[in-house]
Structure 1
Amino acid sequence: LGYIETQNITRVTEFYLMGFSEDPEGQPFLFVLVLSMYLVMVLRNLLITLVIISDAHLHMPMYFFLCNLSFADVGVTSTMVPKMIVDIHTHSTVISYVGCLTQMSLSIICGCMDDLLLTMMAYDRFVAICHPLHYQVIMIPCRCGFWVSVSLVFSLLDSLLHSLMVLKVTCFMDVEISNFFCDPSQLSFACSDSFTSDIVKYLVGIIYGFFPISGILFSYYKIISSILRVPSPGGMYRAFSTCGSHLSVKCLFYGSSIGVYFSSAFSVSPGKGALASVVYTVVTPMLNPFIYSLRNRGIKRALWRLLRKTGLSQSLCHASGLLVGTAAKRSI
């Protein structure tokens, strides 16, 4: 890709995703790494979704939110990562105007859903631990479904707002985007009021960033306060371990996403911004199933029941028995 002068460009038909173009030598390693992480993330989340849907014991609010979180994780990653993998493989950085707008809209919808669902899951744990006697009254199925529907509406509104901001622009200052996907904060407007667009961007960031983070921190503050009153050391250790892992993955998600969203106000290199984007688009969706599901006893039991239903567990046991028998014969 040759040098593109920074000027007022009208009738834009394509953009250039410059996220990892600065390091062509590291792209083969990046291709293998991101592809592996993407496949692991998709398989884990789809497995968790299948287990929750197929097992009646898991038809509870916590697992309902977790199932929706898995869908949102797969959605937000699948709108960005496959395009990046293809671009690395073909050594291309071009994306069409329509493709950019579509990718941006879908990624915002799924990202906001992810954001709001993490807040709901924190509130669910707050009610379960701090108000266990009222849990069945507060977290009724219709109310949980209503909250998820409202979060979808808010996600659509956020996506619509960003799309309208881009559609009203008749010319761009630059067609290079310092990321591996169409990040709305990286689009440089030349013929519009940049002050107004910046105000809207920061206002949306506060609404969809500050308030959910505040809700999560408040919920875990109350949870930790309740845990400290538990006399059992073993129970305190398990609770702190769970809360610590939850907060760690939430800090990764919010820290990297907020950093990328507001990075347009600072001189951040494309490589650093793209690397931070990989954290919340690939790493945290890959960690979510392990943090929220695979360490959960209910999920483990449901997974084992699913394996027994499909007969896969018997096949595994039979295969392991054959291997042990073969090894014993060889030793004799």
Structure 2
Amino acid sequence: MGGENQTWVSEFILQGLSRDWETQVSLFVLFLAMYLVTVLGNTLIILLIRLDSRLHTPMYFFLSVLSLVDICYTNSTVPQMLVHFLSSRKSIPFHSCVFQLYISLAMGSTEFFLLGAMAYDRYVAVFHPLHYTVIMHGGLCLGLAAGCLAAGLSNSLMQTIIIFQLPLCRNVINHFACEMLAVLRLTCVDISFNKVMVAISGFLVIMLPCFLVLFSYVHIVATILHIRSTQGRRKAFGTCASHLTVVSMCFGTAIFTYMRPVGGSSAEQEKMVALFYAVVTPMLNPLIYSLRNKDVIGALGRTDFKLCTCTSMCKCS
């Protein structure tokens, strides 16, 4: 019975966010603009860090990796959602659904581990400023980034295999993408084991990095408060404020979604939270880091100056 059902499901139908045509057109325009801001903003961050030698530090290395992860995550779901806004039939082939779930879950998991690594970087910068470059050397940064990616890919592979081995009774997904909890609702067998796996995965992928971030920042804040100089405290808080803002958004939405029982929240609530995490957070990351970071703003100004100089020289020649 389960094998027949799984063979029969050759495609899935995504219900999306709305069935009203005018609403869908409005959402298309809105999310297209947000998608473009996300891709352009994160690409700009990567290019600035690559082109400006003053940003070749561990903190900005992790920021560039975070921007790359955000681009990959957004591209795994948003382009298809935009197409479906203007389509009468919102279908996705079975294998495309599997791939979408795998990539989105992998990039999401990688981002949590990466935020934990960034918290450790800030911890070292505050507690060991004189030995910062020695401790956070290039090999360690590359190793941490590679470890975050490997952990995210491994977690996603395990979850994807377990989910799509289940027999499916329906092929209509009440979501705008192939999301883990939404696909689990299609099964026609007991999913108690999957609930346990989601809880274990959520603890390892979300809560452990969250505890690491909290541990780091409790010590960082305690140390900053002992700084006598007001300017020194302001500068120290400034180096951590952007990271804390991003961490609060990412971990807050993920804990609300995945650290509750599968039936603990409605499908509509999960769609709204997933939408915030898939569209809003990746868009805000470059804005938060660029608007709150003088180094990035300075790099943007220097890059613009170089481009203008090169353009003028080319015209003169």
TM-score, length-normalised on structure 2?
0.88
- 2:315 maps to none
Structure 2 unaligned runs (5+)?
A: 313-317
1:233 aligns with one of 230, 244, 249: 230
Residues 263 and 311 of structure 1: CA distance in aligned 2, closer, same or farther (over 3 Å): farther
User: 1:232-284: CA deviations, max 9, x gaps?
Assistant: 234434544664453233222122223333463225143x3222112111111
- Measured in 1, the distance between the counterparts of 2:126 and 2:196 equals 39
| Candidates 17, 29, 33, aligned match of 1:32 | 29
Aligned residue in 2 for 1:251 = 248
Partner of 2:157: 160
Quick check: 1:227–1:236 contact (8 Å CA) kept in 2? yes
Aligned residues of 2:242 and 2:292 also touching (Cα < 8 A):
no
- Write the letter of the residue equivalent to 2:24: Q
Shift of 1:210: 0.6
Match for residue 186 of structure 1 among 182, 188, 197: 182
> How far, CA to CA, are the matches of 1:257 and 1:84 in structure 2?
21
Residue of structure 1 aligned with 2:131, choices 134, 156, 162: 134
Comparing 187-196 with 42-51, greater Cα deviation is found at: 187-196
Q: Distance in 1 between matches of 2:91 and 2:157?
A: 24
Counterpart mapping for 1:12-27 below 5 A: 12-21=9-18, 24-27=21-24
Q: Flag structure 1 segments of 5+ consecutive residues without an equivalent.
A: 1-7, 316-332
Distance 1:223 1:309 in 2: 37
Q: 1:177 to 1:190 in 2, by over 3 A?
A: closer
- Contact map agreement 1:263 1:273 (CA 8 A) in 2: no
TM-score calculated relative to the size of structure 1: 0.85
Query: Partners of 1:232 and 1:73 in 2: how far apart?
Result: 37
* Cross-structure match for 1:297: 294
Name 1:175's counterpart in structure 2. 171
Aligned alpha-carbon RMSD (Å): 2.3
State the SS of the aligned residue for 2:89. coil
Q: For residues 210-289 of structure 1, what are the structure 2 equivalents within 5 Å?
A: 210-240=207-237, 243-261=240-258, 262=260, 264-270=262-268, 272-289=269-286
Q: Matched residues in 2 for 1:83 and 1:190: separation?
A: 24
Q: Which has the larger radius of gyration?
A: 1
Q: Percent identity?
A: 38
User: 1:132-185 CA deviation, whole Å, 9 max, x = no partner?
Assistant: 12312210110110111111111111121022113422x213322232111112
Q: Which secondary structure does the structure 2 equivalent of 1:173 belong to?
A: coil
Q: Distance in 1 between matches of 2:219 and 2:27?
A: 41
| Greater displacement, 303-312 / 60-69 | 303-312
Structure 1 residue 189 displacement after superposition: 5.4
